[in-house]
Amino acid sequence: MIKPWYKQFWPWFLIALPGTVVVASLFTFSLFSKNQVSLVAEDYYKQGKGINQDLTRLRKADELNISAFLSADQEKATFSLDKGELTQFPTLRVTFQHRTLADKDIEKMVNADASGNYRIALTEPLQGPWYIELNAFDGTWALNGRANFPSSDPIKLYGSSKE
């Protein structure tokens, strides 16, 4: 006596193979749609033209002998600025850019305390590779550097020349 097809092993096995592929592809699609990575900027041409402006601001920081050190722990990031030829400690726009996760980027305006240090409270600890940029509030000069966190040593931020 022959069993009907729906009670046999092989038809269900053959149906299960493409079924698992469909389920796995739907899972993969939902996973990648929730965790998008924004590596390419839509205005890449405009950003490319802006590189030359950044270089002039970095050179201006070198002319003024400005440099900075960054120390970061779990709760805060502290910048100590060597103001060089500046007469006072200026207000700074500090930017932390993550290499691949744009939603983790941090941009803040900060003022110096009495000892010339700039402090930023962090909502979460810095982990992995970051690009750090310090800009004068008026945009006349800039310092930048790359860091891999956590770091026990202070990170030096430069103008256009590396010492």
Among candidate residues 67, 65, 78, the one with its CA nearest the CA of residue 145: 67
Q: Average pLDDT, whole number, for the chain? A: 84
**Residue 99 near residue 118 (C-beta atoms within 8 A):** no
Quickly tell me which residue has 């726009």 as its tokens.
Answer: 93
Q: What is the pLDDT of residues 141-157, one digit of tens each?
A: 889 888 888 888 888 88
In angstroms, the CA 81 to CA 61 distance is 12
Q: What is the pLDDT of residues 42-80, one digit of tens each?
A: 666 666 655 555 688 888 888 888 888 998 888 888 988
Q: May I ask the CATH architecture of the domain 65-157?
A: Sandwich (2.60)
**Degrees (nearest 5) of the Cα angle 113, 77, 135?**
70
What are the residue ranges spanned by the domains of the chain?
65-157
